[in-house]
Amino acid sequence: MKRYVKPAVYLSISLAACGGAYAQQQVIGAPPESLNMKLVGSSDLQARSAYQPTIHHQGDRWIAYIGHHGGTDETPTPINPMTERAEPNGTSIVDVTDPAKPKYLAHIPGQEGKYEGGGAQMVRVCDGKTLPKADANAVYMLRTFGGEGHEIWNVANPAKPVLVSRIAGGLKDTHKNWWECDTGIAYLVSGAPDWRTRRMTQVYDLGDPANPVKIRDFGLPGQEPGSTGAVPTELHGPISTGPGGNRVYFGYGTNKGGFIQIVDREKLLSGPKEPTAENLRLPEVSRLAMSALNGAHTTFPMLGMPIAEFARDKDGKSRDIMMVVDEAILNECAEARQMVWFADVTVENRPMMISSFTVPEASGNFCQRGGRFGSHSSNESMAPVYYKKMTFIAFFNAGVRALDVRDPYHPTEVGYFIPSITAATDKRCVTVDGKERCKVAIQTNNVETDDRGYIYIVDRANTGMHILELTGPARAAAGLP
């Protein structure tokens, strides 16, 4: 524990000494900043840098699975107090049945390596009873293993996970996967060694998690092996609507040159699999190019939304909406603002951006607080409690922001929560005049919700997980009692 206390403590002392010069910076001991959201409980996640949280209802329990980035320069392999061993960051498993008292159950070590060079960032969970050919008593967790490959674990007993299978391997990189729990089809963000990009899609049938079956590789023409010329922007992640919706929405780019690709799922799965430019083009329905200044981290579909303003219109009362979240990657606003965009994709071959949302920088002097400011990701749960009503956006040093999206043409912020920093919160540095200057700030990286309406946010700067609930008008807007 002692090793990861130092950066925040030293910086807090020096910041206090600087007096008002950094008045907008967070200090240890200060309360969280919030509007219509309140803290229910928290877990320090062993001070590991966190990426994706996934909350799963297992029997009568609620379990949070949290993917981690690799360790830091100061602490490459934090100690797991449960095993008393130094373990490379991997996956934290936390019982959140009582959200006020989260109970840390297990840590599964990930790939050795620091920051994005190690860990096990991504995690998805499916019950064996919903997968077509799985053990009905099992609960399966699909996770990345650093940038090298993917793994499936049986977490039916979440305190004692058991490795089931390893997929791929020898990859250039991995990232934000999607797994259909009813069909078993998984869209794994991978970097196949012979492709010209770090991140593309490997489609697998994981209906029997013990025996993964590869269906095909997929990407953009120009990324495939043997191609020449310009290489399109790399993939960030897909979200599938399954066989019912028959669409997969891919987001490309991170903070630059992003676009949304709408893909016919059936053609993707059944079409010719040889990775030629023609075969890669075949399943594509359309693309929406974004500004070169923005990327697409999350492409979250909200299809068939009734729009109150259009209720008396003869046509177009209901719209298919795509929420696109960019990812800020540079500290202290050293890039164009990364934010949230809403596209109307009702007419699929003519998608159009209709609105946007960002946190006003001046509302917290966020460019001077330290670390990243801008969006990163949204909740991806489609549970009825919030779906098509409220979304939650991880906004790095601006915490999590609650958006009322019932009118996606005019999304409205109805709440926010910026956790307090702790002694574990890691510094974020920039180079000024050739010298490194560091600050400590919350870096809310990802967010997820559960079917009960709790909101889980996790911190990239090692502050852990905070479990929140809506209050006041925001709670009323979501229709919660």
Least CB distance from residue 146 to other proteins, whole Å?
10
Q: Under the criterion CB under 8 A, does residue 170 sit at the interface with other proteins?
A: no
The residue to which tokens 């949302």 are assigned: 357
Contact assessment for residue 200 and residue 183, using Cβ atoms and an 8 Å cutoff: no
Q: Under the criterion CB under 8 A, does residue 256 sit at the interface with other proteins?
A: yes
Q: Which stretch binds other proteins (CB under 8 A): 155-163, 226-234, 402-410, 419-427?
A: 226-234
Q: Under the criterion CB under 8 A, does residue 231 sit at the interface with other proteins?
A: yes
Least CB distance from residue 282 to other proteins, whole Å?
21
Q: List, as one string, the DSSP characters of 310-370.
A: GTT-SS-SEEEEEEEE----SBTT-SSPP-EEEEE-SSTTS-EEEEEE---GGGTTGGGTS
What the block records as the tokens of 192 is: 């196949």
Q: Which stretch binds other proteins (CB under 8 A): 87-95, 253-261, 356-364, 397-405?
A: 253-261
Contact assessment for residue 29 and residue 45, using Cβ atoms and an 8 Å cutoff: no
User: Cβ closer to other proteins: 314 or 435?
Assistant: 435
User: Cβ closer to other proteins: 72 or 240?
Assistant: 72
Residues in Cβ contact with 426 at an 8 Å cutoff, skipping those fewer than 6 apart: 4, 7, 8, 49, 72, 74, 440, 461, 462
Phi, psi values for residue 373, rounded to 5°: -130, 130
Measure Cα distances from 402 to 254, 333, 411 in Å. 22, 22, 10
User: Cβ closer to other proteins: 230 or 308?
Assistant: 230
Q: Under the criterion CB under 8 A, does residue 433 sit at the interface with other proteins?
A: yes
Q: Under the criterion CB under 8 A, does residue 334 sit at the interface with other proteins?
A: yes
Measure Cα distances from 353 to 106, 290, 293, 321 in Å. 43, 9, 15, 10
Subset of 74-103 contacting other proteins (CB under 8 A): none
Q: Under the criterion CB under 8 A, does residue 229 sit at the interface with other proteins?
A: yes
The residue to which tokens 């259909």 are assigned: 180
Q: Which stretch binds other proteins (CB under 8 A): 36-44, 208-216, 280-288, 331-339?
A: 331-339
Q: Under the criterion CB under 8 A, does residue 292 sit at the interface with other proteins?
A: yes
Q: Under the criterion CB under 8 A, does residue 73 sit at the interface with other proteins?
A: no
**120: closest CA among 96, 91, 163?**
91
Q: Under the criterion CB under 8 A, does residue 159 sit at the interface with other proteins?
A: no
The only residue of 257, 374, 411, 419 in contact with other proteins, by rule CB under 8 A: 257
Least CB distance from residue 10 to other proteins, whole Å?
21
Q: Under the criterion CB under 8 A, does residue 205 sit at the interface with other proteins?
A: no
3-state DSSP call for residue 131? coil
The only residue of 255, 375, 379, 445 in contact with other proteins, by rule CB under 8 A: 255
Q: Which stretch binds other proteins (CB under 8 A): 11-19, 158-166, 268-276, 334-342?
A: 334-342
Contact assessment for residue 221 and residue 274, using Cβ atoms and an 8 Å cutoff: no
Give the sheet arrangement for strand 149-154, strand by strand. 123-127, 139-145, 149-154, 162-167
User: Cβ closer to other proteins: 158 or 257?
Assistant: 257
User: Cβ closer to other proteins: 58 or 291?
Assistant: 291
The only residue of 228, 278, 312, 360 in contact with other proteins, by rule CB under 8 A: 228
Q: Which stretch binds other proteins (CB under 8 A): 206-214, 223-231, 269-277, 410-418?
A: 223-231
User: Cβ closer to other proteins: 177 or 338?
Assistant: 338
Residues in Cβ contact with 71 at an 8 Å cutoff, skipping those fewer than 6 apart: 48, 49, 77, 78, 88, 89, 113, 114, 115, 118, 119
Q: Which stretch binds other proteins (CB under 8 A): 94-102, 195-203, 238-246, 408-416?
A: 195-203
Q: Under the criterion CB under 8 A, does residue 115 sit at the interface with other proteins?
A: yes
The only residue of 330, 333, 438, 480 in contact with other proteins, by rule CB under 8 A: 330
Taking the C-alpha atoms of residue 124 and residue 205, their distance in angstroms, rounded to an integer, is 15
User: Which residues on neighbouring strands pair with residue 136, listed in sequence order?
Assistant: none
Residues in Cβ contact with 13 at an 8 Å cutoff, skipping those fewer than 6 apart: none
Q: Under the criterion CB under 8 A, does residue 367 sit at the interface with other proteins?
A: no
Q: How many residues bind other proteins (CB under 8 A)?
A: 30
What the block records as the tokens of 224 is: 């495939």
User: Cβ closer to other proteins: 113 or 364?
Assistant: 113
Strands (E) across 379-464 are located at 390-396, 400-404, 412-418, 427-432, 435-440, 444-449, 455-459
Q: Under the criterion CB under 8 A, does residue 444 sit at the interface with other proteins?
A: no
**22-33 in b/e burial notation, b at 16+ Cβ within 10 A?**
beebbebeeebb
User: Cβ closer to other proteins: 159 or 334?
Assistant: 334
**Interface residues with other proteins (CB under 8 A)?**
70, 113-117, 172, 195-198, 228-231, 234, 255-257, 292-293, 329-330, 334-336, 431, 433-435
